[in-house]
Amino acid sequence: MGRDRLDTVSIANRGLNYGDGVFETMRVHRGALPLWPQHLARLREGAGRLGIAVPDVDFIEARIADMVSAVDAGVLKLLLTRGEGGRGYAPPADAVPTWMLSLQPLPEVLAGLRVHPCETRLSMQAALAGIKHCNRLEQVLGRAEAVRAGCDEGLMQDLAGNPVCATSANLLVLRDGRWRTPAVETCGVAGVLRAWLLAQDLVEVAAVPPEGLADADALALCNAVRGILPMRALGAREWSPHQATDELQARLAMAYPMFQHAGSKP
Amino acid sequence: MGRDRLDTVSIANRGLNYGDGVFETMRVHRGALPLWPQHLARLREGAGRLGIAVPDVDFIEARIADMVSAVDAGVLKLLLTRGEGGRGYAPPADAVPTWMLSLQPLPEVLAGLRVHPCETRLSMQAALAGIKHCNRLEQVLGRAEAVRAGCDEGLMQDLAGNPVCATSANLLVLRDGRWRTPAVETCGVAGVLRAWLLAQDLVEVAAVPPEGLADADALALCNAVRGILPMRALGAREWSPHQATDELQARLAMAYPMFQHAGSKP
């Protein structure tokens, strides 16, 4: 099962043809992946949901160590597909999964995000919700909208108009002194950092209605690469920096020093 | 824009990472693609919807001719992705689309299909419905169900339970002497052969309610590789061969002799 790291894949790869795979995008910090156990758990969950075997984890971990041991800061992407071939959509019984690693530079950390309310909606699909699969055209279309609007990110709603998440981050909404995040049972991704915030009881899952953002006290986004990022604007609505966001960032940085940054401070 | 035919792609290809592309699966007959104009039209529609530039068509056509001129019968797949890279989901402004051709043998023609009613539903996404994009996990899951059930194909419903199409074919339903096919405005693929049948007024678009299949006079599937295929069974419900299906196959074979086959005849 263990293969050497790939730089190319066959055009028969099912990841290329059908998005038939899952991935993780992970922060590298001082030669390691501090959130690796959580990423691995989600990878297993996603692969299990799709019926893709997870290759030898010891071997993958050894290759990851080779790649990141000398890296101070960066992003490592792990992509796992069902492998090659099969006649049409039917997964081949004997498919050998393909996995790939690629190292990318750390993106710049923005002090406050300008977020575009996307017109592209997230469809409801319980079989795929939560996992980080490779069918990402909705996110591609949403992010393209955000870029056209000159924004840093795009906020996506479900078909009923309820805010769910950004194209590549989960949504945190502060109301009445509590941070809330929408459920991801029918669409959206169950982010690794979102899961940590929930487990620490710093955030709770709660429905956010369509009108539930404009009058929020503060909004933030979170993901496992950039940590917690305050939102400065959603469309025309703007927010000032909020102490609760600073405090949430500080709690995270205590557990994971890689997320220590100037944050929302002016 | 024109590149030589590829056998591998970079792991940075957006088709592999996000299913960010479209494809066509086309019947080769006596060294040509009789339905090429229709496939090209749908490819342009899909690429346009996703904002992917269609590479030089003259060059693609020349390469297709090279590949199929000596082929009597087969299937040619054309895959077009947005190309490589970009930071996350945002489509790179300067992306050079990647296109690939691959030749496959003609699948066997079955005299009557056994079809499994899939539990996996088709989500509703108007931005992606109708086009043949590469986000196909729903079809992969549906087809896997069909294989597990020992069936030839799987029938997929929308979230409301309305039958839409098979995993890789459109659905034709005979009632009151008229062939009907469900709309593909919110999910499903606008098949090339379905479009031809509609243009010939041999089939009409009509809603098919959840209970609208069990009491149909006949059911068939159609796609551009295998033509019109009668359904023999859907789950436990079975149908005998129907003259109207033979007649529809005969009309198709008159226009496209490549689809001449024994069909539903015993």
pLDDT band at A109 (very low <50, low <70, confident <90, very high): confident
Domain boundary residue among A53, A77, A104? A104
Note the pLDDT of residue B264: 38
pLDDT over threshold 70, residue B56: yes
Structure confidence by residue, pLDDT tens digits, A223-266: 999 999 999 999 999 999 999 999 999 999 999 999 996 543 43
Task: Answer yes or no: is B9 within a domain.
Answer: no
Size of interface A-B (CB pairs under 8 A): 162
CATH number of the domain within which B28 lies: 3.30.470.10
Structure confidence by residue, pLDDT tens digits, A54-102: 999 999 999 999 999 999 999 999 999 999 987 799 999 889 999 999 9
Residues A98 and A125 occupy one common structural domain? no
Nearest in space to B123 (alpha carbons), one of A70, A125, A75, A208: A125
pLDDT band at B86 (very low <50, low <70, confident <90, very high): confident
Task: Answer yes or no: is B80 within a domain.
Answer: yes
Chain A residues within an 8 Å CB radius of B18: 19, 134-137, 139-140
Task: Answer yes or no: is B68 within a domain.
Answer: yes
Residue B196: beta bridge partners?
none
Task: Answer yes or no: is B132 within a domain.
Answer: yes
Residues A126 and A208 occupy one common structural domain? yes
Residues B26 and B91 occupy one common structural domain? yes
Q: Do B134 and A18 touch (CB under 8 A)?
A: yes
Residues B117 and B94 occupy one common structural domain? no
Across A161-165, A261-265, B129-133, least confident range: A261-265
Q: Do A79 and B140 touch (CB under 8 A)?
A: no
Q: What is the mean pLDDT of residues B210-236?
A: 96
| Nearest C-alpha in A relative to B145 | A90
Residues A81 and A123 occupy one common structural domain? no
Work out how many domains chain A is built from and give that number: 2
Q: Do A89 and B6 touch (CB under 8 A)?
A: no
pLDDT over threshold 70, residue B3: no
Note the pLDDT of residue B108: 84
pLDDT over threshold 80, residue B58: yes
Nearest in space to A109 (alpha carbons), one of A3, A254, A249: A249
Domain boundary residue among A73, A104, A135? A104
Residues A84 and A207 occupy one common structural domain? no
Residues B98 and B126 occupy one common structural domain? no
pLDDT over threshold 70, residue A115: yes
pLDDT over threshold 50, residue B2: no
What distance in Å separates residue B132's CA from the closest CA in chain A? 10
Residues A174 and A67 occupy one common structural domain? no
Residues A152 and A100 occupy one common structural domain? no
| Nearest C-alpha in B relative to A83 | B16
Domain boundary residue among A49, A77, A104? A104
Task: Answer yes or no: is A266 within a domain.
Answer: no
Task: Answer yes or no: is A50 within a domain.
Answer: yes
Task: Answer yes or no: is A175 within a domain.
Answer: yes
pLDDT band at B263 (very low <50, low <70, confident <90, very high): very low
Closest Cβ opposite residue A7 in set B11, B23, B136: B11
Residues A124 and A96 occupy one common structural domain? no
Task: Answer yes or no: is B70 within a domain.
Answer: yes
Q: What percent of chain B has pLDDT over 90?
A: 90
What distance in Å separates residue A253's CA from the closest CA in chain B? 24
CATH number of the domain within which A209 lies: 3.20.10.10
| Nearest C-alpha in A relative to B150 | A90
ipTM of the complex: 0.95
Chain B residues within an 8 Å CB radius of A79: 11, 16-17
| Nearest C-alpha in B relative to A22 | B17
pLDDT band at B262 (very low <50, low <70, confident <90, very high): low
Residues B41 and B140 occupy one common structural domain? no
| Nearest C-alpha in B relative to A147 | B90
Q: What is the mean pLDDT of residues B167-171?
A: 98
- Domain range enclosing A255: 113-259
Q: Do A128 and B138 touch (CB under 8 A)?
A: yes
Residues B76 and B147 occupy one common structural domain? no
Closest Cβ opposite residue A143 in set B11, B89, B168: B89
Mean of per-residue pLDDT scores for chain A: 94
Q: Do A18 and B88 touch (CB under 8 A)?
A: no
pLDDT over threshold 60, residue A2: no
Nearest in space to A112 (alpha carbons), one of A151, A54, A157: A151
Chain B residues within an 8 Å CB radius of A23: 17
Give CA–CA dist A169/B155, Å, rounded: 34
Instruction: Give A240: exposed, middle or buried? Use CB within 10 Å, 0-12, 13-18, 19+.
Output: exposed
